Chain A
Amino acid sequence: MSSNRIMTVSRAISEAIAQEMRADPTVFVMGEDIGKYGGIFGATGGLLAEFGEERVRDTPISETGFIGAGVGAAMSGMRPIVELMFVDFFGVCMDAIYNLAAKNIYFSGGHYKVPMVIMTATGGGYSDAGQHSQTLHATFAHLPGLKVVAPSNAYDAKGLMISAIRDDSPVVFMFHKGLQGLAWMASPEGAATELPEDAYAIPFGEAKVVRSGKDVTIVTLSMMVHHALDAARALEKEGIDAEVIDLRTLVPLDRKTVLKSVAKTGRLVVVDEDYKSFGLTAEILASVVEDDPAHLKAAPRRLAVPDVPIPYSRPMEQFVLPNAETIAAAVRETLGRAREAA
Chain B
Amino acid sequence: MATEITLAPDLWDATANPEGIVANWFFQEGASVSKGATVAEIMVEKTTFDIVAPADGRLHIAVAKDGVVTPGAVIGTIDGG
A interface residues with partner B (beta carbon < 8 Å): 1-2, 4-8, 11, 181-184, 192
Tell me, rounded to whole Å, the shortest Cβ–Cβ distance linking A1 to chain B.
5
> 8 closest Cβ contacts across the A-B interface?
A183-B23, A183-B43, A5-B26, A4-B31, A1-B34, A5-B27, A1-B37, A183-B48
A-B contact pairs, 5 of them (CB 8 A): A2-B33, A4-B31, A7-B26, A183-B24, A183-B43
In the complex, which residues 4-48 of chain B have their Cβ closer than 8 Å to any Cβ of chain A?
A: 21, 23-28, 31-34, 36-38, 41, 43, 46, 48
Chain A contacts for B23, CB-based, 8 A: 182-183
* B-side interface size class: 10 to 19
Chain A contacts for B48, CB-based, 8 A: 183
Chain A contacts for B32, CB-based, 8 A: 2, 4
Chain A contacts for B38, CB-based, 8 A: 5
Bound: A6/B36 CA distance, A: 16
Bound: A182/B66 CA distance, A: 12
| B45 and chain A: residue at smallest CB distance | A184
Tell me, rounded to whole Å, the shortest Cβ–Cβ distance linking A13 to chain B.
15
Chain B contacts for A181, CB-based, 8 A: 24
Bound: A11/B39 CA distance, A: 13
Which of B21, B26, B34 has the largest number of chain A CB atoms within 10 A?
Answer: B26
A2 and B46 contacting across the interface, CB-CB below 8 Å: no
Chain A contacts for B33, CB-based, 8 A: 2
Tell me, rounded to whole Å, the shortest Cβ–Cβ distance linking A113 to chain B.
36
